[in-house]
Structure 1
């Protein structure tokens, strides 16, 4: 917020300095409080104990204040009742003594006043710990005030109280504080008019509340100490109880983390027969069931992989024999009848497809067994892309699709396995040509300092919502009838995903119904580098504005490694 322009320049400079210092202070405070905030977020134990201490402190403090206040009020009420009872007796006595004088000029009146004050104060000095009796007549100048103790009573008997007693002729009381002999003492002051034959005289009785103050302070101290002890005790109890509950939860969390890390033999210790013990027993039962299921699934997967590998290898031998016979028949097909010649051509095509399927199955089995190796070398990707387009030019011509290459003029060197990269691009471009619906297929290559990306874009039927996650599944096809002009095996994209992962890269898909599809292959320039972003966007630029980004199927090394342009922040990684 800027300072108003109408303020003088020095004021605006001062405001800017104040705002700057304020921001620096806020940042410094946040930095200093970061460990505490982090501990507060992560520790359930700390939150429960802290909230218990705060709540108990408020409750105990409120209750203690109420007890102390009520106790003080009770002590004060009792003192007021006692002083009021004594005051009534003193007023009657003063009335009896002063009523014998008919006029102010009576020479015996001063002596009577002094004797009355001494008699009224007799015993109070010891019993009440310094009570003061004062007899005065503010409306009668001839009568001089007299007090039982020589002390300045003006701070105790205020003008407001004098007016209420002398002029209004009413009984008044108040509590005032006076410093006597270097000690501040609180007094309960009572004033009452005394009717006489010559007019009204005011009698003031000042009783120190030292005993009551001492008792109230003792009560407050006792309540404070008891409250602190109670709060500390509640904190200790909350800490122990929370520890009893949180510790098994922490053990369960650590055990679950170990289970998720693959340590399937981890179990919780079961102590007792309470709810926590039941939780531990249920957790252990769940872990045992999961372990059995995972072991069974791993065994089934191992047997499946072994079966696939064994079948693929065993079929190689009869396939070779059949291939030799089929090649002989195919080479002599022109001498056969047209029907037999056509059968020879179909046999040859199906054998090619069957051999391709066996090759893909063997490759998949190597990936599953973890035997796939990367033969990386510094290669130029421009010739690889051109070679793939050249080899698929015949297929593209047959289906009426043109392949448009958008390649840099300079070489694009990266540390890759050329055979695997070419296989990935051949699968992507082949699928794009197959689904191109007679429209051009665009192949774009770009690079930066860390990554190389290739996008293959078609303008065919596209992908329905959710199919972006399925295109990389084995044997999955968007066309349920499996009608293909090329007769693919359904394993090409699955193998391509594994090839991308082997490079430490990504293979991602985007598509929309009627808008075509785009696949993006991203690999690091240097083997072993971690990918952060891709040089090319996954969503085509002509669709990035008006298209809602669908879920994206991908194959990165880790889902949290994908970072891309702002248009792709909604991508979901597979």
Structure 2
């Protein structure tokens, strides 16, 4: 018993594994067909045509089969009725004078008549409806339950047909008879009363429909094979026709992709004068027009870059002269009246800003021209961040903002251009100090296996919705009416974003009105390495409570104002040297 139970359990497990494999295979095939249906016009048109053709062929086959079957049966019924009527007359002649005999004598007369009917039916002149089996019976209309006297397969005649014939009605019926060996044979049974005989007699002829069934089966097989062949031919023809239409479309799509990839000379071949040829001509005209406009824009951009570069270079010489004169005046400002001395200081400040603007214009023109090269080396980013903080510390002290530096304990080395990364951080810090309104500015450095990230967080005016995508535009300002403290050129963030792209990195921004802003720089540790979001998230972690909590909750959770926002006069100047060291 135990071995049998083990075998059954193993069979069940094997069957379960087989079913799971079949389900997985079916799902994969379904997914593949779904993808092919979504992406292939040729496949969709072919399958749709095949489905509609199958429906048409199926309906047509059913109609033809029914028509052929009805015609065969009608022909068989007419021939059987005619032959039954003819043999009824023959049987009446053979049974003339029957009446009053004993059952044995009557049975003998019926056997003789049956032999006569069989011989007449087997002759060439009596084979109109094919072979048949005759049955003769003598049943009184008022004695349906009595044992009738009969010759032939009387049990094959159904009871309902007997009742009609015994009541002097000419009837026919298709009936299936099950033989002793279990075989099933369908007969067309025609019954007629023999009214010319004194004793009530009934004649039944059983015409087998085997030939007609074979004919219908042959017709069905022919229609099935013909339908399948027709469907395959239609599928092949549809596939060829659709390929002739889809192939030019695919060629146009490939040409469009190459054109979008920068191959502006890509064109379609024009063959013939049909609709596809007109499409090719229209596409070629459109491509030529776009190519002409792109060339014009490239020429205009080149002229603009040359103009910016030439103007910047040409302004260098007079600017140098003015700078020399301004420096002389600035050195002697103590000898001037107070108003004139202040004008000299303003002149020097504006010259500094003008020089910075010229430098930024030259830098942005080189970046636009694509002539800048990345002098990358594998160095630690932490010293770069420290130098950038030290460079803006004087600027931050003038605005009352505290610059905090948060550095990781582990190494944060990456393959970067130190000069460009330092410029990016300096621009971000200067921008944060300019908008911090005296509140702290925090620079955080972090690293993981693939990237090094730096965030600059301030708690000033912040950014309105949608402005985080505009801050990197050239000469864009969040609030033109706000007084500027640092006097930036308006190109610093644009140059920083181009420097980040030159590294294969990412520079993005986040901000909320009244909650400050945060700029994030993500650089790959090695050039060409895929870049993800980096180790520092944006929005920053401290922005969650500011956005999700109610104002009262924010006030309750914040530390004392003098702890995080010290007044400039309360800050200890001696701590300035320790601000660059963070945890």
- TM-score, with structure 2 as normaliser: 0.82
With over 3 angstroms needed to count, the CA separation of the structure-2 counterparts of 1:182 and 1:23, relative to structure 1, is: closer
Displacement of 1:65 in angstroms is 1.7
Q: Which residue of 1 aligns with 2:42?
A: 45
Q: Which residue of 2 aligns with 1:467?
A: 467
With over 3 angstroms needed to count, the CA separation of the structure-2 counterparts of 1:352 and 1:311, relative to structure 1, is: same
Q: Which residue of 2 aligns with 1:557?
A: none
Unpaired stretches in structure 1, ≥5 consecutive residues: 1-10, 549-574
Q: Which residue of 1 aligns with 2:246?
A: 246
Q: Which residue of 1 aligns with 2:72?
A: 75
Displacement of 1:493 in angstroms is 0.7
Query: Equivalences for 1:56-205 in 2 at 5 Å?
Result: 56-91=53-88, 94=91, 98=95, 100-105=97-102, 109-125=106-122, 126=124, 127=127, 128-137=129-138, 144-147=149-152, 154=155, 156-158=156-158, 171=171, 173-176=173-176, 186-194=186-194, 200-205=200-205
With over 3 angstroms needed to count, the CA separation of the structure-2 counterparts of 1:491 and 1:23, relative to structure 1, is: farther
SS state of the match for residue 174, structure 1? strand
Displacement of 1:366 in angstroms is 1.7
With over 3 angstroms needed to count, the CA separation of the structure-2 counterparts of 1:38 and 1:440, relative to structure 1, is: same
Q: Which residue of 2 aligns with 1:570?
A: none
Whether the aligned pair in 2 keeps the contact of 1:401 and 1:433 (CA below 8 Å) is yes
Structure-2 separation of matches of 1:545 and 1:172: 94
Structure-2 separation of matches of 1:431 and 1:195: 123
Structure-1 separation of matches of 2:225 and 2:441: 84
Unpaired stretches in structure 2, ≥5 consecutive residues: 1-7, 549-583
Whether the aligned pair in 1 keeps the contact of 2:333 and 2:344 (CA below 8 Å) is yes
With over 3 angstroms needed to count, the CA separation of the structure-2 counterparts of 1:275 and 1:482, relative to structure 1, is: farther
Structure-2 separation of matches of 1:382 and 1:19: 60
Displacement of 1:492 in angstroms is 0.5
Whether the aligned pair in 1 keeps the contact of 2:172 and 2:188 (CA below 8 Å) is no
Q: Which residue of 1 aligns with 2:526?
A: 526
Q: Which residue of 1 aligns with 2:448?
A: 448
SS state of the match for residue 97, structure 2? coil
Whether the aligned pair in 1 keeps the contact of 2:174 and 2:186 (CA below 8 Å) is no
Displacement of 1:413 in angstroms is 2.3
Q: Which residue of 2 aligns with 1:283?
A: 283
Whether the aligned pair in 1 keeps the contact of 2:168 and 2:192 (CA below 8 Å) is no
SS state of the match for residue 392, structure 1? helix
Displacement of 1:542 in angstroms is 3.4
Q: Which residue of 1 aligns with 2:399?
A: 399
Greater helix content? 2
Q: Which residue of 2 aligns with 1:4?
A: none
- TM-score, with structure 1 as normaliser: 0.83
With over 3 angstroms needed to count, the CA separation of the structure-2 counterparts of 1:435 and 1:546, relative to structure 1, is: closer
Whether the aligned pair in 1 keeps the contact of 2:453 and 2:536 (CA below 8 Å) is yes
Structure-2 separation of matches of 1:169 and 1:418: 115
Structure-1 separation of matches of 2:545 and 2:113: 105
Query: Equivalences for 1:206-217 in 2 at 5 Å?
Result: 206-217=206-217
Structure-1 separation of matches of 2:210 and 2:103: 40
Residues 190-199 or 220-229, more deviating:
190-199
Whether the aligned pair in 2 keeps the contact of 1:165 and 1:172 (CA below 8 Å) is no
SS state of the match for residue 508, structure 1? strand
Displacement of 1:66 in angstroms is 2.0
Residues 211-220 or 438-447, more deviating:
211-220
Query: Over residues 182-234 of structure 1, what are the superposed CA-to-partner deviations in whole Å (9 max), with x where a residue is unaligned?
Result: 99864322334546877644422111334433443443344334433432332
Whether the aligned pair in 2 keeps the contact of 1:451 and 1:535 (CA below 8 Å) is yes
Whether the aligned pair in 1 keeps the contact of 2:107 and 2:151 (CA below 8 Å) is no
Q: Which residue of 2 aligns with 1:326?
A: 326
SS state of the match for residue 110, structure 2? helix
Displacement of 1:496 in angstroms is 0.5
Residues 203-212 or 323-332, more deviating:
203-212
Structure-2 separation of matches of 1:342 and 1:195: 147
SS state of the match for residue 136, structure 1? strand
Whether the aligned pair in 1 keeps the contact of 2:131 and 2:208 (CA below 8 Å) is yes
Displacement of 1:328 in angstroms is 1.0
Query: Over residues 304-353 of structure 1, what are the superposed CA-to-partner deviations in whole Å (9 max), with x where a residue is unaligned?
Result: 11111122222222211211111111111111122221221111011101
Q: Which residue of 2 aligns with 1:497?
A: 497
Q: Which residue of 1 aligns with 2:477?
A: 477
Structure-1 separation of matches of 2:30 and 2:242: 25
Displacement of 1:103 in angstroms is 2.2
Indicate the RMSD between aligned Cα atoms, in angstroms.
3.5
Q: Which residue of 2 aligns with 1:350?
A: 350
Query: Over residues 368-404 of structure 1, what are the superposed CA-to-partner deviations in whole Å (9 max), with x where a residue is unaligned?
Result: 2222122222333223222222222222232232223
Q: Which residue of 2 aligns with 1:308?
A: 308
Q: Which residue of 2 aligns with 1:3?
A: none
Structure-2 separation of matches of 1:23 and 1:181: 44
Displacement of 1:503 in angstroms is 1.5
